[in-house]
Structure 1
Amino acid sequence: MKKTVMSLTVTATLLLISCGQNKEQENFGKSTEEQTVSITEATPNPLINEGKELFEGKGTCVACHNPDKKIIGPSIKEIANLYKTTNSNIVAFLKEESDPIVDPSQYEIMKTNFSITKKMSDKELQALESYILSYAD
């Protein structure tokens, strides 16, 4: 009985020691910044996920906007970059409280979606904005 307990103790100790060594070896040579980036990428902002769901679902935005290319409306990337560089408010636009800045010629087409976005909560609109701005350079 004593030999079995002793064997289990030694085995457990070796496992704990070896696990700790692998962790050190995995991070060896990587800067703290690289490690932080991988952690951040693994745990995205929950607002972005919610915004993506709204964009592709309830908001019907995906019918006119693609991440990287113009379909009917400008690409999400184009929208994000312009709103970011001009420090403009996407939520205000979706509430129809500010003028269009990306492609004013498409404003009449976009007006049909204001009936949807105006019914969204502030949290939902902020989630949509977070999702869109996640495409900014």
Structure 2
Amino acid sequence: MKKIILIITAVIFISCKKEENNIPENQGLVKNKSAIEYGKTLFEGEGNCIACHQAEQKIIGPSIQEIAKIYKDKNASIVSFLREESEPIIDPSKYDIMKTNFAITEEMTDDQLKALEAYILSFSN
């Protein structure tokens, strides 16, 4: 009888176990946050993109609107550029400055880079 109670208790314990969130930390979209919102968080936070890129005006780098327009017009991939898999298409003379930031983007997941791209391209409207 004790064995049956022990087995039933074990089954109940296992079936009531708290479900884990299978989204690894820092892996893509945060629950309840759109890609654009997540991209904005990365752009202004750990990506530190905002240090050189503003929404409507060029400071060190081109504006987000300019980046969005050119990448959309050329059907180019911002993710590929941030992965250093494609050449700069906006202002190649500033490429050496941008290269210092690739240390940050190479640590980002594909989902994070896609969220950054979604945020930037949201300025093309």
Taking every aligned residue pair, what percent have the same amino acid on both sides?
Answer: 60
Structure 2 partner of 1:73: 61
Larger Rg: 1
Task: Give 1:88 shift.
Answer: 0.2
**Greater RCO structure (CA 8 Å; 6+ sep):** 2
For 1:117 and 1:85, the matched residues in 2 are separated by 23
Greater share of helix residues, 1 or 2? Answer: 1
TM-score norm. by structure 1 comes to 0.67
Give per-residue Cα distances to partners, 1:77-125, cap 9 Å, x unaligned: 0000000000000000000110000111100000000000011000000
Structure 1 partner of 2:13: none
2:117 counterpart of 1:136: no
Question: Superposition pairs for residues 31-50 of structure 1, below 5 Å?
Answer: 46-50=34-38
For 1:56 and 1:112, the matched residues in 2 are separated by 17
For 2:45 and 2:75, the matched residues in 1 are separated by 27
Structure 1 partner of 2:46: 58
Question: Runs of 4+ in structure 1 displaced over 2 angstroms?
Answer: none
Q: Match for 1:79: what amino acid?
A: I
Structure 2 partner of 1:112: 100
TM-score norm. by structure 2 comes to 0.73
Alignment RMSD (CA, Å) = 0.9
Q: Match for 1:93: what amino acid?
A: F
- Give the one of 39, 64, 72 matched to 1:84: 72
Unaligned runs of 5+ in 2: 1-32
